[in-house]
Structure 1
Amino acid sequence: MSEPSAPEADLAPGATEATPEAGPEVEWHRLSPRNLLINPVKVVGQFAVPAVIALVGVSQGDRGLPWWAAPFVVVGALALGAVPWLTTFYRTTPTQFQVRSGLLNKTMKTAPLDRVRSVDLEASLLHRVVGLSKVQVGTGVDDDRITLDSVSTEQAATLRQFLLARRAPTTVPSDQPTGQPIGQPTGQPAGDGPVGTGELSGVPPEPGRVLAEIDWAWLRFAPFSLARLVVLAAAVGALSQFGDQLPIADTAQSAWGWVHQFALYLVVLGLLVGGLVSWVMVAVTGYVVQWWNMRLTREAGSLHLTAGLFTTRSITVEEQRVRGVEMKEPVLLRLVGGAELSTLATGVGSGGVTAILPPCPVGVARDVGADVLETATPMGVPLVAHGPAARRRTWIRHLWGVLVVTAIPLVASIWVDLPWWLPVLVGVVSLALAGLGAEAAYRHLGHAATPDHVVVGSGELTRVRTVLEHDGIIGWVVHQTFFQRRLSLATLTATTAAGAERVVARDIPLPAAIRLADASTPGVLTAFLA
């Protein structure tokens, strides 16, 4: 297949311009022909609402499109859906992975095989029906990735296997013609055939070691994670906006008035029970949909996570890019002994933070974190407390909020006739909550140093243990406010390229901050120790 001209070239991060390969030109491959079954459907779905509005017209006025325009809208959507299959090509050469696309503005994206850092697979329910997957290739720079949507599931798996085996020495069999794509068997037709199988690289793929699998006993933690509270809030908001237009709206209003007239306490109790049941259903359903068939393995020098019921995702994080882990224990999960675990890595999406476990027992999170770090010490080492001065500062910081909250009803009572006990009640409740929050925030503070990692405890309602390896630390920032200087405290920040790009130890005694930084990166703060 001859290559069309590409006057413009957009390079992926970490990629280089395509260079001519030695020998005959390597053949380009299309996306799977089954892409023609799903891409037009997606385009029609995107155009469905605007098309209906255009056909019917706003408020059924005279400016709507005529009915005979509907076939043209559908045909146009189908044509647009076929464009990606007609214009997208890819190939694997002995040194590069290349993708070209575009109809009017042609782009060429290339990535050297030795720069590939992640190969993630994703398959929506529509993809899975026709046996396709979306491949996302990352080069470890920023969040941009080279995407192929869609290739066959088998081809996606072999392509992923080959690209992740790039670190193995590559040998081309003597009977394979020069210029044949690596991993492409001789005579294999383009299109749906496997590309890039690691079996031809000279080294058989290592069997993956399972680090964790879903245990449906963990469902008990789903209602105690508030990650999906926004879903329930959106449903309540939609019901409040459009509830009056439902067919049962009049009957519901009549029933509400009757119950409200005779049994107000039953209404309150019913709302509480209904809200609780709705939340449990939303939380459990979301947990199952997101973490169905979850499996975390270590293979070929990478951590590989697969999960998902309707949309299956296969996420790969190269272990050389993993600089630490972060274990979170939100207040509700902590009450039932649960935790969440994420990796801190460089050059991956999601801000460098990748969740590798659902809400699960804290013991499981610690064990898996130890497996990822290949040492159990950082996950269980006791943290050094920051002392009485840090406690006083934490309390004072929270009490300032009490003054602000209490002042609002107090000032309002000057212009509005409010009962005298309302500001008092607000003040007492705010003081109690601030005290609980301040003490919890102080107890979560702490730090520790191991031979290979620095460990920092933080958080207020959520207890967070952050483990960062010494090799991942770029530098240190020691910051002191006016009040911290009076208490000989400091805020110590370890800068890193992983995760949120910083790990902060708040209100740590200044001598302890210097010792911690010097123990993690010897020689960097030697001048401060003199």
Structure 2
Amino acid sequence: MTVPRSPAPGTAPPEQSGPDALAAEQEQPWLRLDKRMLLVHPVDEAVKLLPVLLISLVVGTQSGNHYWGLLVLTGLVAYAIARWLTTSYRIGPVHVQLRTGVFQRKVLSVPRNRIRSVDVEAGLLHRVLGLSVVRIGTGQRAEKPGESARFELNALDARLVPALREALLFAHGSTDSPGASEPAPAPPAVEIAHWSPSWVRYAPLSTTGVLTVAAAVGLVFQYGLGQRVADSDTISEGLDVLRGWGVAAAVTIGVVALVAIASALACVRYLLTFGNLTVTDDGRVLHVSHGLLRTRQTTLDRARLRGTSLREPLLLRMAGAARLDAVMTGVSADQRFSSMLLPQAPHAEVRRMESLVLRADDSTPLRMHGPAARRRRYSRALLPFAALAAAAGVAGAVGAPIGWPVWTAVAILAVAAGLLAHDRYRGLGHATPPGRLVTRHGSLDRGRHTVDADGIVAWTVRQTFFQRRAGVATVIAATPAGTGHYDVIDLPADEAWALVEAVTPGAGDAWTRSV
């Protein structure tokens, strides 16, 4: 057996196993990241510690000692150089290893046969310098909050990354014999989706802009600038004008201003994040690339594809839009962008993309779950308001001042709850096309999930006390992909194991025989 002893930076030897491979791996040298990162690390650290730099600048200006800023900047540069000197990696035939830490040393070792994703990113400065950030994921969740279950090579020469990604993702298998054949070359890729600038109109229909505004306000107050802004002459004069217009006008203007700012920020973020998005398919992998300033490339192995999730939040659904994610083994659904196929886009485009990814025209109509499921949605939506109306009636009977505004508010909220219950029932359903389970539920955040039968590893039929009384049950399909489970909610109980049998022949029948 021949094992490369000293691979070039950014390359990977063939994946192997066994004692000989492990012994040869230990003799391989540790490699450093590209020297051009010495230009990037100081900038990254300066951005992270921008408040500290600003404070040092203010202190230096007020004290007349301008060396404060210079000292802080020198410290950032020294720390960046120390990070580069103390970071090294080794790509062996058995493991991928990373050593990091300026003050506390840490070695992260990932078996190559456990690698599930290789994501590539490049910020603006990385792109100028010809570098890329490679993140290797194993699909494992972090054991502690803030702890990462994958490691990052920041950064490698961008020209070496495609071959490295190919080797890490698709070189699984034994090559112990000297005459082992090389992996077959990838077939030509076909573009199956391309981003359109018109899609930006869907960006304001998410909470991104509002969250950005909230984060900016929190940051301002965190560094003690909020009170200064509030006490400024401009803000004071603006508040005086609004008081003269009345409370209703002030609230209306405030809401309109918030919506306008949040929408603008959401559109800018959408353009920067998803601009130039393309999705290609070579029959073996789906390659997703997007971003204007910071680019991101994600490779989804079709061998690990277990289905799709079509998300339709209420506002997007009202605008005729949706977004699409892949259900991938070893890629958790909470990993940001790692399984995204399409961002907010027209519903017809999302469904077309879904058919191409699944390689099937999934036109099977969903089966509704019957009157018991409908009653449960209306009862859970309206009972709280019925109780509130009863409480208001009792309070009015004993002399409490319950005026028409209270009854009007209760009536409006009850009507809204009834409409929500109606929409939730309309969105509830399932289908069992050959080899797949399709389930849909929700209203404010509706999701339609399609999961391959081969990816389902276990079934659970669950009934709460109230479900037993209503004669319905929830069927849970467990899978090592995506969210880990996909539920068929409030299905008639006598149809639960028939559904299991339809998706996984023999599973439901075995249960029936056991009872």
TM range (shorter): 0.7 to 0.9
Which of the residues 442, 448, 451 maps onto 2:434? 451
In structure 2, the residue matched to 1:21 is: 24
Q: Distance in 2 between matches of 1:172 and 1:502?
A: 41
**1:321 matched to which residue of 2?**
304
Matched with 1:211 is: 192
1:303 Cα deviation from its structure 2 partner: 2.1
SS of alignment partner, residue 159 of structure 1: helix
1:356 maps to 341
After TM superposition, list the pairs within 5 Å mapping 1:87-102 onto structure 2: 87-102=86-101
TM superposition shift of 1:92? 3.6
Partner of 2:167: 162
1:340 to 323, 329, 333: 323
Tell me which residue corresponds to 2:413: 430
State the partner residue of 2:45: 43
Question: Counterpart in 2 of 1:295?
Answer: 278
Deviation string 1:148-206 (CA, Å, 9 cap, x unpaired) is: 111122222332233234158879999xxxxxxxxxxxxxxxxxxxxxxxxx9464333
In structure 2, C-alpha distance between the alignment counterparts of 1:127 and 1:418, rounded to whole Å: 66
User: How far 1:244 sits from its partner (Å)?
Assistant: 5.9
Using the TM superposition, give the Cα deviation of residue 229 of structure 1 relative to its aligned residue in structure 2, in angstroms.
2.5
Write out aligned runs for 1:98-109 (5 A). Answer: 98-102=97-101, 106-109=105-108
Residues 413-436 of structure 1 show CA distances to partners (whole Å, capped at 9, x for unaligned) of 899975522331222012101101
| Structure 1 residue 226 corresponds to structure 2 residue 207 | yes
Contact conserved, 2:22 with 2:94, CA < 8 A, in 1? no
CA change 1:318–1:423 in 2 (3 A) is same
Whether the aligned pair in 2 keeps the contact of 1:243 and 1:249 (CA below 8 Å) is no
Give the TM-score of the pair, scaled to structure 2: 0.82
The residue number in structure 1 matching 2:313 is 330
Residues 105 and 206 (structure 1), Cα distance of their counterparts in 2 relative to 1, 3 Å cut: farther
Alignment partner of 1:508 is 2:491: yes
- Matched residues, percent identical? 34
1:8 aligned residue = none
Match of 2:381? Answer: 398
8 Å Cα contact 2:430-2:488 kept in structure 1: yes
Q: Deviations over 1:341-360 (max 9, x none)?
A: 11122222553672221111
Give SS of 1:525's match: helix
Root mean square deviation, CA, Å: 3.9
Are residues 50 and 255 of structure 1, via their aligned partners in 2, closer, same or farther at CA, if it must alter by over 3 Å?
closer
Alignment check: 8 A CA contact 1:304 1:314 kept: yes
Please tell me whether the aligned partners of residues 308 and 327 of structure 2 are also in contact (alpha carbons under 8 angstroms). Answer: yes
User: Which moves more between the two structures, 406-415 or 325-334?
Assistant: 406-415
Match of 1:19, SS state, is: helix
- The reply on whether 1:384 has 2:370 as its aligned counterpart is no
Q: Against the structure 1 CA distance between its residues 482 and 257, is the aligned structure 2 distance closer, same or farther, given a 3 Å change threshold?
A: same
The equivalent residue for 1:132 is 131
Distance 2:229 2:106 in 1: 49
CA distance in 2, matches of 1:66, 1:500: 56
Alignment check: 8 A CA contact 2:322 2:346 kept? yes
1:466 is aligned, of 445, 449, 453, to: 449
Q: Deviations over 1:389-420 (max 9, x none)?
A: 11111111112332465578778889997552
Question: How far apart are residue 484 of structure 1 and its match?
Answer: 1.9
1:371 to 356, 363, 370: 356
Output one character per residue of 1:484-526: Cα deviation in whole Å (capped at 9) or x when no partner: 2222211111111112211111111012211111111222232
Distance 1:106 1:286, change over 3 A: closer
Q: Retained in 1: the 8 A contact 2:467–2:490? A: yes
Give the secondary-structure state (helix, strand or coil) at the position aligned to 1:293: coil
**Residues 163 and 238 (structure 1), Cα distance of their counterparts in 2 relative to 1, 3 Å cut:** closer
Query: 8 Å contact 2:332–2:483 — kept in the other structure?
Result: no
**Is the Cα–Cα contact under 8 Å of residues 165 and 300 in structure 1 kept in the other structure?**
no
Contact kept? 1:409, 1:422, Cα under 8 Å? no
Q: Distance in 1 between matches of 2:283 and 2:173?
A: 9
Instruction: Classify the secondary structure of the residue corresponding to 1:397.
Output: helix
Change (3 A) 1:16 1:426: farther
- Distance in 2 between the 1:247 and 1:423 partners? 35
Q: CA deviation at 1:439?
A: 0.8
Note if contact 2:395-2:402 (Cα within 8 Å) is conserved in structure 1: no
| AA of the residue aligned to 1:448 | A
Return closer, same or farther for 1:368/1:170 CA change in 2, 3 Å cut-off.
farther
- TM-fit CA distance, 1:247: 9.8
Q: Tell me if the contact between 1:295 and 1:306 (Cα under 8 Å) persists in the aligned partners.
A: yes
Query: Is this contact kept in 2: 1:142–1:347, CA < 8 A?
Result: no
Q: State how far apart, in whole Å, the 2-side matches of 1:409 and 1:65 are.
A: 67
Q: What corresponds to 2:257 in structure 1? A: 274
Seen in structure 2, the aligned counterparts of structure 1 residues 410 and 328 have a Cα distance that, compared at 3 Å, is: farther
Most deviating of 274-283 and 102-111: 102-111
User: Distance between the aligned counterparts of 1:76 and 1:424, measured in 2?
Assistant: 65
For residue 457 of structure 2, give the secondary structure of its aligned residue in structure 1.
strand
Pick the aligned partner of 2:403 from 420, 423, 428: 420
- The amino acid across from 1:159 in the alignment is L
Cα deviation, residue 105, structure 1: 5.2
User: Post-superposition shift, 1:274?
Assistant: 3.2
Q: Distance in 2 between matches of 1:327 and 1:19?
A: 43
Q: Give yes or no for contact 1:325–1:341 (8 Å, CA) kept in 2.
A: yes
Contact 2:94 2:112 in 1 (8 A): yes
Larger mean Cα displacement after TM superposition, 24-33 or 385-394:
24-33
User: Which stretch of the first structure deviates more once superposed, 37-46 or 89-98?
Assistant: 89-98
Query: How many Å apart are 1:455 and its aligned residue?
Result: 0.7
> 2:23 is aligned with what amino acid?
P
- Is the 1:171–1:202 Cα contact (8 Å) retained in structure 2? no
Q: 1:83-130 deviations in whole A, cap 9, x for unaligned?
A: 232133334445544434445655444445444322111122232232
* Structure 2 unaligned spans of 5+: 7-16, 143-148
Structure-1 separation of matches of 2:190 and 2:272: 25
How far apart are 1:442 and its partner, in Å?
0.9
Q: State the alpha-carbon separation in 1 of the partners of residues 466 and 248 from structure 2.
A: 51
